Amino acid sequence: MHPPHPTRTTRALINTAALEANYRLLASLAAPHAGLIAVVKADAYGHGCEICVPALLHAGAESFAVVTLEEALAVRALAPSAHILVLGGIFDGQIAAALAQNLTPVVWDLWQLKLLEEAARAQNLPAASIPVHIELDTGMSRQGVSPADLEQFLRTLSSVSVLRVEGIMTHLYAADETNSIATEAQLNLLDRMLAAITRAGIQPEILHAGSSAAIITEIAPRIHTLAARHKMRAALRPGLSLYGIVPEFSPAHLEPPQTLLTAREQLKPVLSWETRVTTLREIPAGAVVGYNGTFVATEPMTLALLPVGYADGLTRSLGNRFSLLVRGQRAPIVGRISMDLTTIDVTEIPGVAVGDEVILIGRQGGEEITAADHARVDGTISWEILTRISGRVPRMAVESK
């Protein structure tokens, strides 16, 4: 738990106005074809549910998706009447809490149906009293009922009368690839699987698919058409883009769709990650910096010490390979990043003083460092950069930044 007023100088500022504007923009891009399910798993992609869920509610969100029961309970405490989808399914020992808190689990395996049936029998629940969403695997070979298993799954499902199939979902694995061949194949398979579901006498209310990349590549009308053909309404599940980051598309568009241009222009990063200079130090030529002396000064230098390290989520691989912003200029990280400390070279930046703001992610002066910049150097993606900013970094709500 964080103290009520975080005092640590290393902190993440969460711009709630930007989050609300992003939600409204994505809702308008999806409309009128599809609604939105706001993905707030992993503590709102590291931004903090306590700050983000109320802001999203204020922007009009009615439906949230998380992965674990614990995440769902945290969202429920903040959103008493919202629809909350538990993407990761529920496990033995979790069903009573899920029912009591009106959560909606995703199901895709026979053991989950059995577990729900047993819990319902123990509690004497009436028919159709537990809403579930079925996940269909349309090509990712990950989570979901595969086409080969669908018939048996539906047969078992129809014997579990306590369940009510409220929704059907699938995940698109290549919505960020601009030749949409994989997505086309997935949507065709989804269409056939939906036909099998309605043939089995099941009429779900809602069909949802797609992530940020799907919204931005104008998949909403496609999902809408599919949903309408099977008498359902459609929804999309944005995560990253809510937090103001536009997925990168490959290969790069020759002619980007209007929605991608709009998203690039109008989505605003929600999180800024900052710290302050703790100590300044002059070092002579020949001094080594940090563990194992991976950096050796070739001339006298001025170093600034920062109270942030890999235990805060600043990945160690950025040592000697990345720069941070101070006084609107880029200051290279020198030496290894330690668990709790990082050293930057401010020799060329006049006037740096103890207490100066240093930006790890965000804007300062005319410069900006994005999560994507971190990701590029670390060989990963923005999602991982944001979600690994650790619990030691307090999140603070601000209304602008």
Query: Are 38 and 59 a contacting pair, CB within 8 Å?
Result: no
Report the candidate in 389, 365, 369, 387 with the shortest Cα–Cα distance to residue 377.
369
Query: Which residues are 167's β-sheet partners?
Result: 133, 206
Give me the 43-82 binding string for ligand PLP, x by CB under 6 A, dash otherwise: ----------------------------------------
Q: Quick one: 238 or 335, whose CB is closer to ligand PLP?
A: 238
Query: Which residues are 324's β-sheet partners?
Result: 331
Token reading at 149? 């298993």
Q: Quick one: 39 or 283, whose CB is closer to ligand PLP?
A: 39
Q: Quick one: 239 or 269, whose CB is closer to ligand PLP?
A: 239
Give me the 6-35 binding string for ligand PLP, x by CB under 6 A, dash otherwise: ------------------------------
Of 13, 14, 34, 39, which lies in the binding site for ligand PLP, with binding defined by CB under 6 A? 39
Of 48, 238, 244, 335, which lies in the binding site for ligand PLP, with binding defined by CB under 6 A? 238
Q: What is the residue whose two structure tokens read 């929600």?
A: 270
Q: Quick one: 87 or 324, whose CB is closer to ligand PLP?
A: 87
Cα distance between residue 237 and residue 215, in whole Å: 8
The CB-of-135 to ligand PLP minimum distance in angstroms stands at 8
Q: Quick one: 15 or 211, whose CB is closer to ligand PLP?
A: 211
The CB-of-357 to ligand PLP minimum distance in angstroms stands at 29
Which amino acid does the sequence have at 176? D
Query: Are 394 and 48 a contacting pair, CB within 8 Å?
Result: no
Query: Are 190 and 147 a contacting pair, CB within 8 Å?
Result: no
Active-site choice (23, 114, 231, 291): 291
Query: Are 119 and 102 a contacting pair, CB within 8 Å?
Result: no
Q: How many residues bind ligand PLP (CB under 6 A)?
A: 11
The CB-of-211 to ligand PLP minimum distance in angstroms stands at 3
Angle between helices 49-58 and 16-30 (to 10 degrees): 50
Query: Are 333 and 341 a contacting pair, CB within 8 Å?
Result: no
Q: How far is CA 233 from the centre of its chain?
A: 24
Q: Tell which positions 98-137 bind ligand PLP, by CB under 6 A.
A: none
Query: Are 52 and 40 a contacting pair, CB within 8 Å?
Result: yes
Report the candidate in 2, 20, 41, 109 with the shortest Cα–Cα distance to residue 396.
2
Cα distance between residue 238 and residue 160, in whole Å: 31
- Point out the residue whose Cβ comes nearest to ligand PLP: 239
Residue 1 three-state SS: coil
Q: Quick one: 245 or 337, whose CB is closer to ligand PLP?
A: 245
Stretch that binds ligand PLP, among 112-120, 238-246, 295-303, 347-355 (CB under 6 A): 238-246
Give me the 146-185 binding string for ligand PLP, x by CB under 6 A, dash otherwise: -------------------------x--------------
Cα distance between residue 38 and residue 387, in whole Å: 16
Of 29, 240, 304, 369, which lies in the binding site for ligand PLP, with binding defined by CB under 6 A? 240
Stretch that binds ligand PLP, among 16-24, 28-36, 239-247, 292-300 (CB under 6 A): 239-247
Active site residue 45: no
Active site residue 41: yes
Query: Are 156 and 110 a contacting pair, CB within 8 Å?
Result: yes
Give me the 288-327 binding string for ligand PLP, x by CB under 6 A, dash otherwise: ----------------------------------------
Is residue 237 a contact point for ligand PLP (CB under 6 A)?
Answer: yes
Active-site choice (23, 41, 45, 310): 41
Token reading at 247? 């997925």
Q: Which helix (H) or strand (E) holds 332?
A: strand 329-332
Q: Quick one: 276 or 374, whose CB is closer to ligand PLP?
A: 374
Cα distance between residue 367 and residue 307, in whole Å: 22
Cα distance between residue 360 and residue 147, in whole Å: 45
Q: Tell which positions 184-213 bind ligand PLP, by CB under 6 A.
A: 211-212
Q: Quick one: 213 or 337, whose CB is closer to ligand PLP?
A: 213
Q: Cite the active site residues.
A: 41, 291
Residues that bind ligand PLP (CB under 6 A): 39, 41, 87, 171, 211-212, 237-241
